Amino acid sequence: MFEKTSFFLLARRILKLKTNVEQLENSKVCLTIEVEKDAVDKALKKAYTDMKGKFNVPGFRKGKVPRHMIENMYGSQVFYDDAANNIINETLDNAIKNNSVEIVARLKYGDIQVVEMTPEKCIYKATITTKPKVALGEYKNLEIEAEKLDVSDEEIEAYIKQEAAKNAREIRVEGRAIMPEDIATIDFEGFIDGEAFENGSAKDHRLVIGSNSFIPGFEEQLIGKNIGEEVDVNISFPADYHVDELKGKPALFKVKINDVHFTELPEINDEFVADVSEFDNLEEYKADVRKILSEQKINARKNEVIAKVLEQVIANATFELPVEMVNEEIERLVEQFSQNMKRQGVDLEKYLEYTGIDHEMFRENFKQQATTQLSNTLVLEEIAKTEDFEISDEDLEKELENRANQYHIPLDQFKKRINENYMDALKADLKIQKAIDLLVESSTIVDIAEEIAEEI
């Protein structure tokens, strides 16, 4: 009797499939797959080997019952389901690949149905969601509105103030009461109807007065108080508070003010510039800041142009995203978000509980992002196909070098770690980038600010 692996390998070598492809609505196809007698016989033998230990037949030890005895006692079809599952698992992927079906959503219960299962043959149907066909409209020479790139003196001042804030120092308040923007270090405990409530207390909590980071009305009641004071703070939880049990309820917080600090910003002068940069005076530093902000705006504008030109290309194209394809992308984005939260030490369930969002609403929040990303990819792939972009060896080598550098791996070692599938995906990515470059380079950018000025 064949071992599991040898059976699968042999089955892949000898199976001859009869496949019929039927186009359905909504980007679906139905594959009808017929598997020959020899493969069915081997699948039934495999099912018997796997299952024979589960049957009790008088006069035989478990696992030693002949196949025909089991079939006589439990019915001739007793191994059909298991054999059919083996056949489907070993033939469906090949049938999809051999018929160039681009599957875009995992098959679920009900998508596969066994039509006929006998010792002579196995016929089953698989309904598959495929990549939708895209009919491109106009995608070259589009007109895109984008914002002006000039950097104002106000923007430069704001940037420098942010840098100064990074170098601010905290000084303990002496001889005065709490003022807005002070940092109060407090102990507090919250009560509703005289009873302390869960997660309503903390020790040495740092609170920036006026930051509105606490319950509305709480911070204002600390203004004018002094270090060492104990204060009763009366508030009402907002009606839309994230904890259902506290929504709209009045509460009393007993607060002790342990300490108070204020931040002192450094004076913005040549000395400050020398401390935070490679420059010796403020004018040189401002010129460098202007350059930094200008580069940021150029990069932001590039992304803005790409997004706007793709929006037009999608509007000009004709296609329909299958619901299953969108749901699959939503699941991918949800999993990606969950993994990012885990890396930050935050459990997704706790996050949802804290934000007051249920699973359905959480998934719905990703729907627009999923739809946009899928639409972008579909039209870019179609443009790449239409333009018949070629990826040269030089293009591949340059991109491989870029990716090796990203992972801090020598290029020769990086090449040893990748396979043919990776290279195919890399070529596809480069074709997508060529499509993006074509769209941007062929578009005309209209400055919104100039248009407004002309209208005035």
Assess whether 252 and 305 both reside in one domain: no
Whether the pLDDT of residue 148 is over 80: the answer is no
Mean pLDDT of 359-379: 94
276 within some domain = no
Assess whether 303 and 438 both reside in one domain: yes
What is the residue whose two structure tokens read 């607060």? Answer: 255
Torsions phi, psi for 195 (to 5 deg): -110, 130
| 256, containing H or E segment | strand 250-264
The closest alpha carbon to 139, from 385, 395, 303, belongs to: 385
In total, the chain counts a number of residues equal to 456
Instruction: Count CB atoms within 10 A of the CB of residue 264.
Output: 10
pLDDT at 15: 57
Count of domains for the chain: 3
Condensed to tens digits (0 to 9), the pLDDT of residues 161-195 reads 999 988 888 999 999 999 999 999 999 999 999 99
Condensed to tens digits (0 to 9), the pLDDT of residues 316-343 reads 999 999 999 999 999 999 999 999 988 8
**Residue ending a domain, choose from 215, 235, 264:** 264
Assess whether 223 and 90 both reside in one domain: no
Assess whether 353 and 250 both reside in one domain: no
The residue type at 292: I
272 within some domain = no
* CATH label of the domain that carries residue 241: 3.10.50.40
Q: Beta strands 444-447 and 143-146: pairing type?
A: parallel
82 within some domain = yes
Torsions phi, psi for 356 (to 5 deg): 75, 25
Assess whether 287 and 260 both reside in one domain: no
pLDDT at 276: 87
Residue 117 confidence class, pLDDT cut points 50, 70, 90: very high
| 20, containing H or E segment | strand 17-23
Mean pLDDT of 423-432: 94
373 within some domain = yes
pTM across the whole model: 0.63
pLDDT at 3: 39
Assess whether 120 and 11 both reside in one domain: yes
Assess whether 329 and 253 both reside in one domain: no
337 within some domain = yes
Condensed to tens digits (0 to 9), the pLDDT of residues 256-314 reads 999 999 998 888 999 899 988 999 899 999 999 999 998 888 777 788 889 999 999 99
- The whole domain housing 74 covers 4-129
